[in-house]
Structure 1
């Protein structure tokens, strides 16, 4: 491997903003926000909307509330209504 062309690989805490689940992993991503981990050290905190803790594929649960909200927004945007 060529020297000096690869980004710095360091420990980072990822947090699922939906569930609050946190995990420590290595990453090249960095953040100005830090959090204290269970070992007493501070690590950069990366906030994520979806992780294995909240994604339906991994949890086995489908979240219909988000899908319903998207459908309603689409109908409002394009003027569709429920006319029986």
Structure 2
């Protein structure tokens, strides 16, 4: 690797703002805010969503796509089904 062109890679703590969940990871992002994590000081980066609060990982996912795109359009604008089987 060329010297002087790559960002500094270091360990930081990411904290989920919604739940307070913290995890340690490597990143090139830096922060002036620090936090003590497992006995050491690390830079703290706040994130809005993580695996602790994301609906996919928490099991609170909503399934909104029950109809197809054409069915939703027809329902929205009041069209009747005039497909091949409607003879």
TM-score by length of 1: 0.69
Kindly report the root-mean-square deviation, in angstroms, between the aligned alpha carbons of the 2 structures.
Answer: 1.3
Q: CA deviation at 1:62?
A: 3.8
The number of equivalent residue pairs is 62
Greater per-residue helix proportion: 1
Runs of 4+ in 1 over 3 A off after TM superposition: none
Residue equivalent to 1:51: 50
Whose radius of gyration is greater, 1 or 2? Answer: 2
CA distance in 2: counterparts of 1:34 and 1:3, whole angstroms:
28
TM-score by length of 2: 0.67
Q: Which runs of 5+ in 2 are unaligned?
A: 63-87
Residue equivalent to 2:25: 25
Q: Which runs of 5+ in 1 are unaligned?
A: 64-84
